Amino acid sequence: MLRSYAAAGVLSPVAVDRVSGYRYYSQQQVGQARTVGLLRRARIPLAETAVFLTGPTYDQIELWQAQLDDEFDIRRHALDAARKELNEKSTLPAVIGPRQDSGRERTTTTMATVMSAATGTDRGLLRDTNQDAVLAEGILYAVADGMGAAGDTASRWALETLRSEFTAAPSPDGLIRACRQANRMIWEHASAVPEFDGMGSTITALAMLPADQGGPVAVNVGDSRLYRIRDGRMEQLTEDHTIVGSLVRSGELTREQARSHPQRHLLTMALGIESEVTPDVVAVECRAGDRLLISTDGLFNDVPESEIITAVMASDPASAVRQLVDMAKAAGGADNITVVVLDAS
């Protein structure tokens, strides 16, 4: 029951195991699930149910009752009016012309930042499949790390949806909407099709938008990462949506402790887990000579950051990608490895 409510976006798990797709719930949520079941029978919209659960009151239930009475009145009057209309007028068949479909509005954008880029993805040494996906098209660069039995499908869909939506609206808002649409696409399939149950994906996407559109911007959901390398220093620009990530931010764990923490795989946010997602949005301050790295956790979980810096600063993006993938495999290759390296100029 909890699983189906989570799929509907009402009772969200407190954490999700990124490897197995297993969802964790609190004890309090079991009681809430019974309330959700009753409200669903009363046909209360799920969004309202979710709000109700944050502070349940008798007043709200009375309000719903009043709305129900009003709605029946309105519907009854409308049916009466329709009945009268039918009596008074002769009914002519409607004339339907060819559909005027203007299509989606397309905006063209000029690329203000010339750069070179390279991508690489590798199954690693221990996994049977590669559930990562990578995208580099025009000014859009992204990685996705799928989870669950159909994780490879989830990550591929995430990036295909992102690409088609962003291409139609290449702007900061367009990037956010594309990310939300990718979430909805995966969530709808995960909720409706048994073989896709439990599928999800991370996403880290960077759009190298020109200065007149606010400059480069990134969105992030999950624990893939965007780094900027400048003057020999590497800085993570995205925040990990993991339980250990929040412990690092609050100072309770160091980054090195987090790397080997047994619960490092537990994500607090991913695409496909809830009906809506609010991605982190990062304005990427970027100048000539900066190098950017986007990667899935198969790289940084196995390789210390000090070693990543050495490899990522190779002469050109293609060599950097090769070295990073080789390095992750030399460190055990326990997970799929995906990297994008690009130079701003």
Q: Which of 145/290 has CB closer to Mg ion?
A: 145
Amino acid, res. 164: S
Length of the chain in terms of residues written: 345
- 8 A C-beta contact, residue 344 and residue 292: yes
Minimum gap (Å) between residue 123 Cβ and Mg ion? 11
The site for Mg ion, by CB under 5 A, has a size of: 5
Question: Of 240, 214, 218, whose CA–CA distance to 228 is shortest?
Answer: 218
β pairing state of 291-295 and 337-344:
antiparallel
Q: Is 148 exposed, middle or buried (0-12, 13-18, 19+ CB in 10 A)?
A: buried
Minimum distance from residue 271 beta carbon to Mg ion (Å): 14
Q: Per rule CB under 5 A, is residue 335 in the interface with Mg ion?
A: yes
Closer of 122 and 343 to Mg ion (Cβ):
122
CB closer to Mg ion, 302 vs 343? 302
Distance CA 132, CA 142 (A): 11
Segment 98-157, which members bind Mg ion (CB under 5 A)?
145
| Closer Cβ to Mg ion, 120 or 172, answer by number | 120
Minimum distance from residue 35 beta carbon to Mg ion (Å): 36
Which among 36-44, 237-245, 283-291, 334-342 is the span making contact with Mg ion, rule CB under 5 A?
334-342
Which CB, 47 or 126, lies closer to Mg ion? 126
Beta carbon nearer to Mg ion, 166 or 227: 227
Name the residue nearer to Mg ion (CB basis): 119 or 213.
Answer: 119
176 or 269: CB nearest Mg ion? 269
- The interface with Mg ion within residues 293-322 (CB under 5 A) comprises 296-298
Q: CA of 190: how far to CAs of 182, 199, 275, 335, in Å?
A: 12, 6, 10, 23
Nearest distance from residue 159's CB to Mg ion, in Å? Answer: 15
Count of other CB atoms within 10 angstroms of residue 190: 23
Answer positive or negative: Cα dihedral of 73, 75, 77, 79: negative
| Burial class for 26, CB neighbours closer than 10 Å (0-12, 13-18, 19+) | exposed
Return the H-helix or E-strand segment holding 174: helix 172-192
**Cα distance between residue 245 and residue 294, in whole Å:** 17
x/- letters, 255..294, toward Mg ion (CB under 5 A): ----------------------------------------
In order of 101, 159, 160, 172, the CA distances from 105 in angstroms are: 11, 21, 19, 16
| Interacting span for Mg ion (CB under 5 A) from 38-46, 192-200, 208-216, 333-341 | 333-341
Scanning 37-45, 85-93, 184-192, 329-337 for contacts with Mg ion by CB under 5 A, the matching segment is 329-337
Q: Which stretch binds Mg ion (CB under 5 A): 48-56, 147-155, 317-325, 331-339?
A: 331-339
- The CB-of-130 to Mg ion minimum distance in angstroms stands at 10
| Minimum distance, C-beta of residue 307 to Mg ion, in the bound complex (Å) | 18
Minimum Å gap between C-beta 298 and Mg ion is 5
Q: How far apart are the first and last CA of the chain?
A: 53
Contacts with Mg ion by CB under 5 A lie at 145, 296-298, 335
